[in-house]
Structure 1
Amino acid sequence: MADFRRGMLALAERLPPGEELVQRALEGFPDDVRGLAGRCRIIRTDARYGGGYYSDRNEIELASGVETYEGLGQVELSACHELFHYVCWNDLRYRPDEDQDFPYLRRAVRDSRKLLAGFPRYHGWVTGSFLRQGDHANPVEYFADIPTNFRDVAELPPPIRAHFAPLIDGSAPPYEMRRVPEWSFTSQERELAMFQRWLAGGE
């Protein structure tokens, strides 16, 4: 254990610092997104795996061991994912949707149910990767996963594309999420099982 810890500390000295990792993870995203997420602090720990975004501290921890066991590309993807948790919490366009339990995001997913066949990469990712995470396949994680995994909005069904495009390609927001929506979901429709059913294309 002592040798492993020394190895992780030595590795951490050679890894990109948090500030550089933020820039690399967000390369290609709109300037306003990079500016916002660039405020987030990433703390590199000497752990073998793990980490996450901590909303109470408004910062990210990311294990140095990710590079050792999964490669530098994976740590950039992991950082990107966690940074979009930060964006969801801090972007004034999107935070109101989370505060209301994601009614706008849920509607985009629901309205995409019948369109999945036309977007094979997205459909394959949803059914072959995202939904296999069980309870982790929820709106919060979905929000962070879409910009991380889909840099080309053309790969997304139109309702989902419109919802995320401001974060991915800088398009104008399709609606004002600070407004209380004119529609509502039943308690059953707000359950995780229904969200996952809609993602898979079910009624």
Structure 2
Amino acid sequence: MKNPWKALKQYLKLGQKSENLQASAPEDPKTSILPPEINFPPEETVTLPETVPYLLHLQSGRPLKIPENQLTITLGKTSPNNTPDIDLSDVTNAAVVSRKHARITVVGEQYYIEDLGSSNGTYVNNILVKEGESQDISSGDLIAFGKEDKVAFIFKLPDQRRQEKNKFEQQFQDLKIEIDQQKRQKDLNMVTSSRYFQEVKQEITEVDVDEFWS
């Protein structure tokens, strides 16, 4: 029979040999579970406010902070006789925004928005806010100036922002764990299916244990 010591030494060296196989084995793009290299993107490409309400401008992805410690916040475009709290002069499709377009009012913990007689109107979740009337808004509501959402925002509150961040971070971690597990399984399959591994495995099965220890 084959030398049992040789088989045992081969078996003990399997770990080192496996590392060499992983380092030198070419990647088969047809059978690879993962792409050759994974570059995780940054968790966020835009820094969003953490502790204050804000309007997320959908056309640019830019957050516009709602000023703190103010009970009324005006939205519109700057002119010689008008300086709104939130200036929309430079947003895409700014032509649909009036100089004095809308006003947000804070009552306790509730927020309301009203149209200030704008030319193109103010919409909350695609429903027109009539001039002179206030519409309550909640986190996640869509606010649009003019039809067809040419200038549109998502209203966000701090608690909602933190919940979404925590949810995103958990999903991101779960994704990294899943990819790591898939890569480990791929590496294991590559080693165990190698010719070298099969030869060593065969030698081990042929070792007579009683003779080996006698």
TM-score when normalising by structure 1: 0.17
Rg larger in structure: 2
Greater share of residues in helix: 1
- TM-score of the superposition, structure 2-length normalised? 0.16
